[in-house]
Structure 1
């Protein structure tokens, strides 16, 4: 037990917390943290997510975190106009996609997908003869297929299921490991549950056939058999001429050569990607992990995008990254907002969703590089940030825009300046 600044003893050991209702849990948390009535009421309002559903999605629910959903306009993907819902807390992200898409609207984005294959890994250790064991496992391919496909007859019926096995011998600090990759077509599912079930089922057989001991059996988030690709061309006249084009190329070359820049460059891509992944109820962490791991696949962390000049002097850009998203599992299927976002997108397959997300990532990146190469990232960002600062200073209604405009005009977006401006507006 520790005594806190609130002046009472409190413990985080709360027996049976998970068995209580969300309201009862919130009462306990409010007492623990000395929350006032207004804060407690704010947390109790779960918005348009029904409390029983929130309580089923995760454990120990007390509240929801409402993230705004904006719509990216001007997007044309493979000749089809789409409106793209993006859930994010960061200003200027949605606007950036709208702007990039507008500047290449005539031709839009062209996309493709390498497939819908996921990988499950089964780790065997203490294998006496790993090289021979590897061949023994490969010889059992048909047996392995039968066992895996038996786990999910519906997936097989939908055209998915086991596709192949790969077996790798890894040298590690604790000796050689025999790692089997189950390659599974998960179709319109993200696939974690399907491939994990198969890995669990096959594990004892792998132990028997290899003569080793099986430990981990789990999917890999480096979904490099499920790559989403997009490319687009921005015409010189649309982007502001050769100086802007060359500035963007220079920014790309910087990211391609330097991991310190590449991390921020790719973070900008993920601003767009993760916003659509979140809006559709998919796993943002899985997609983020896959993207960054893929960016380092050469042994050096680098850019997920490529920029080059076309024969006619325009700017060509492309992106390729793992995109494990689905339409039929988890929150995607049961969260009403995710379902609404999928309806707005009009997607009927996980592949189409993945391809649109790749296009959004490319649009986001183009806008960021263009801003960096011209006015600097802060200008557009600061216009929107100024509104947040105005609200933090206490501005309401029309005051928000008025204070924000004054901050931008001064070139100083700070809360103390905002408070002064607000006081002046109010005649204080």
Structure 2
């Protein structure tokens, strides 16, 4: 197969060079002189928002993004946004009820999903109905922890070793420093990774009901300042995070570890219910799982799943979580097996669920409303939310696998997405 080229047919080297050479110019959209100072800053006042829109000169966009509801509620967003101009509205649908028997989540949950993708809510609703009809999903939060991983470079491996010998004696001091920066987080472990003359320190925290990224960043920064001031070996250079944490990136390490909350969920479904809800049979579901596992390995996938990202993005956006964390949270394992009695046993394991029920965007007006629909708003609910997230992913895996097995996948998207 010939590789497609984006270069225009017949383009010469001179033409390409000319068209790709930057030409300095004044920006077509710039702030007037009176916008100096805090006008272009993160400060949120009505007059600054109005001036930003006066500069944009897009009245239709202004009416859509800066409507009356936004004007009355905008100050609730002050700690979550800079250069505010309005709010984006997304459709929210409800899937479920989804019956869950977890260590922390117990009951029938109605699942708010914010998405622009037709067929998505319908799919999760079908999977939720199936799980509930089968008696509910079993969910278990296995472990939890959020890491930050500063890196230190030394002149030699010998210096790196001396630094490690010192830092391993400083755990209690580091823990005390971390504790001084947060009421809810706790440093519970420090791991060391040596790579030549580089040292990576993995600080693992538990973060209570907060998702915890900002919490661990602030705590680790305080520890790092102590290290730089007191280390007997001065590093050549050091950075607050050296990319070992896997923050907002898919990574293989957490498949056998944890970042955020690690949850497994499973359900046992009779052949009758598989036929009723998915229009296929247990054997074909298992065949689909086997073939897609091989396909995932051939593609170099980290973990094996059909579409965790769909559930995670829709739930995270609806409930005020950081949607960028979908990049890491979508790593996990889905398995279909046949139980001794002939039932379909379906399970998911997600080791990177990054959710909280306090802090971040969880208390913004519409996001709080979605957490209220779940009954999981505020202190004491983060672990339950993680078990709900895994169970929703399980519902989605069953539904999409059933659609492929029954040959309904394209038909459903054509009907719901195109209205035909």
Shorter-chain TM-score: what band?
Answer: 0.7 to 0.9
Matched, 1:305 2:323: no
* More off after superposition, 245-254 vs 358-367: 245-254
The aligned counterpart of 1:349 is 381
CA contact (8 A) 1:2 1:11 kept: no
1:118-165 CA distances to partner (integer Å, 9 max, x unpaired)?
Answer: 11111111154223432322222222222222222x22xxxx411111
Q: Name the CA shift for 1:87/1:263 in 2 (closer, same or farther; >3 Å).
A: farther
Q: Secondary structure at the match of 2:82?
A: coil
Q: TM-score, normalised by structure 1?
A: 0.76
Q: Secondary structure at the match of 2:361?
A: helix
The aligned counterpart of 2:89 is 66
Structure 1: state its 5+ residue gaps.
Answer: 296-303, 387-403, 409-428
Q: CA deviation at 1:249?
A: 2.0
Q: Secondary structure at the match of 1:351?
A: helix
Matched, 1:217 2:240: yes
- Pick from 109, 118, 125 the counterpart of residue 137 of structure 2: 109
Matched, 1:270 2:309: yes
Q: Name the CA shift for 1:96/1:263 in 2 (closer, same or farther; >3 Å).
A: farther
Q: Secondary structure at the match of 1:178?
A: strand
Q: Name the CA shift for 1:274/1:87 in 2 (closer, same or farther; >3 Å).
A: same
Q: Name the CA shift for 1:46/1:283 in 2 (closer, same or farther; >3 Å).
A: farther
- Pick from 184, 188, 205 the counterpart of residue 226 of structure 2: 205
Q: d(CA) in 1 for partners of 2:163 and 2:108? A: 52
The aligned counterpart of 1:290 is 328
Q: d(CA) in 2 for partners of 1:200 and 1:335? A: 27
Q: Name the CA shift for 1:65/1:306 in 2 (closer, same or farther; >3 Å).
A: same
Q: d(CA) in 2 for partners of 1:141 and 1:265? A: 37
The aligned counterpart of 1:340 is 369
1:88-129 CA distances to partner (integer Å, 9 max, x unpaired)?
Answer: 111111111111121221421111112332111111111542
RMSD value, Cα: 3.0
Q: Name the CA shift for 1:199/1:46 in 2 (closer, same or farther; >3 Å).
A: farther
Q: d(CA) in 1 for partners of 2:337 and 2:386? A: 24
Q: Secondary structure at the match of 1:282?
A: coil
Q: TM-score, normalised by structure 2?
A: 0.77
CA contact (8 A) 1:310 1:316 kept: yes
Q: d(CA) in 2 for partners of 1:135 and 1:381? A: 59
Q: Name the CA shift for 1:126/1:2 in 2 (closer, same or farther; >3 Å).
A: closer
Q: d(CA) in 1 for partners of 2:120 and 2:365? A: 24
The aligned counterpart of 1:28 is 55
Q: d(CA) in 2 for partners of 1:2 and 1:310? A: 66
Structure 2: state its 5+ residue gaps.
Answer: 1-21
1:199-245 CA distances to partner (integer Å, 9 max, x unpaired)?
Answer: 11111333443624352224652661521221112221111189532
Pairing 1:13-412 to 2, within 5 Å after superposition: 15-16=35-36, 17-18=40-41, 21-30=48-57, 35=58, 37-45=59-67, 47=69, 50-54=73-77, 56-78=79-101, 80-105=107-132, 106-126=134-154, 128=156, 129=158, 130-152=160-182, 154-155=183-184, 160-171=185-196, 176-207=197-228, 208-209=230-231, 211-213=233-235, 214-218=237-241, 220-221=246-247, 224-225=258-259, 226-240=261-275, 244-259=281-296, 260=299, 266=305, 268-286=307-325, 288-292=326-330, 294-295=331-332, 304-321=333-350, 322-332=352-362, 334-347=363-376, 348-386=380-418, 404=419, 408=420
The aligned counterpart of 1:417 is none
Q: Secondary structure at the match of 1:199?
A: helix
Q: Bigger relative contact order, structure 1 or 2, given CA contacts below 8 A and separation 6+?
A: 2
Q: CA deviation at 1:55?
A: 5.1
Q: Name the CA shift for 1:257/1:210 in 2 (closer, same or farther; >3 Å).
A: farther
Q: d(CA) in 1 for partners of 2:232 and 2:265? A: 42
CA contact (8 A) 1:68 1:88 kept: yes
Q: Secondary structure at the match of 1:308?
A: strand
Q: d(CA) in 1 for partners of 2:224 and 2:302? A: 37
- Pick from 2, 7, 10 the counterpart of residue 28 of structure 2: 10
* More off after superposition, 79-88 vs 246-255: 246-255
Q: Secondary structure at the match of 1:114?
A: strand
Q: Name the CA shift for 1:69/1:198 in 2 (closer, same or farther; >3 Å).
A: same
1:26-70 CA distances to partner (integer Å, 9 max, x unpaired)?
Answer: 22112xxxx4x4443223216467233345421222232111111
The aligned counterpart of 2:12 is none
CA contact (8 A) 1:233 1:317 kept: yes
